[in-house]
Amino acid sequence: MGADMIEFDVRRTDDGHLVIVHDALLEGRPIGSFALAELRRSRLGSGIPTLAETLELTRGRIALDVELKEEGYESAVVDQVHQRFGRDHVVFTSFSVRSVAALARHSGAPRAGLIVDRNTDNAIDLWREWIAEHRAEPTVADLLRAAKDSGATLIAASQTLMETDGFEAAAHAAGFALMVWTVNNPAAIGRYLADPMLEAVITDRPDLALALRSAS
């Protein structure tokens, strides 16, 4: 289609293989409880690729947004990616401030991004953790401070957060690059594509986004 980047999610199997899969559970079991061979023998897991296979397929063809769904294997992901991809063609992102901090400490991950959403079921989402700890919703300043403390240079914000009064301007003033997700409405795609403060628009409809960008 001509998209600039693709985004995918990384998890780790019980025997240490990094695999590309969004959902935490397969057939009611955590992905991390499967060995790779067992995962691929399952009815729903047979087509799940490894990170290495995905990198071989994509290198030299497109840039990557690599999202880590869990904590504890940041270095392994970065090392695999940078065996095949240049530093300028990859960003690493996570909902977890701890994963982002680990990524930011790794010399191979100069672009570490914190993903933030106001409403998510992700157990390591900053928003949920903040509310549990402080018994109050974080302000824009709180979110930006947490992102800065983690070492993030990029924030991937949900549409809900992007539309929060003052967020975009404050994030830009704090020196963060910004991406917005997941934007599928044509009017919203066009609006965000025209926003000079946004580095990327994440969408399930890249054909539509590319057509809108070409027409602008």
Question: Do strands 25-26 and 29-30 pair parallel, antiparallel, or not at all (unpaired)?
Answer: antiparallel
Diameter of the chain measured on Cα atoms: 50
Tell me the CATH number for domain 5-215. Answer: 3.20.20.190
Q: Which two tokens stand for residue 25?
A: 């559970």
Backbone angles phi, psi at 204, to 5 degrees: -85, -5
* Tokens 């401070």 belong to residue: 145
Q: Is there a contact between 48 and 19 (Cβ–Cβ < 8 Å)?
A: yes
Residue 85 is predicted with a pLDDT of 86
Nearest to 48 by CA among 58, 59, 57, 36: 36
Q: Is there a contact between 109 and 92 (Cβ–Cβ < 8 Å)?
A: yes
pLDDT tens string, the chain, 216 residues long: the values are: 999 999 999 999 999 999 999 999 999 999 999 999 999 999 888 899 999 999 999 999 999 999 999 999 999 999 999 988 888 899 999 999 999 999 999 977 779 999 998 765 554 577 778 888 888 888 899 999 999 999 999 999 999 999 998 999 999 999 999 999 999 999 999 999 999 999 999 999 999 999 999 998
How many Cβ atoms sit within 10 Å of the Cβ of residue 50? 17
Residue 122 is predicted with a pLDDT of 56
Q: Is there a contact between 94 and 114 (Cβ–Cβ < 8 Å)?
A: yes
Which amino acid is present at 63? A
CA distances from 86 to 24, 43, 154, 214 (A): 29, 35, 18, 27
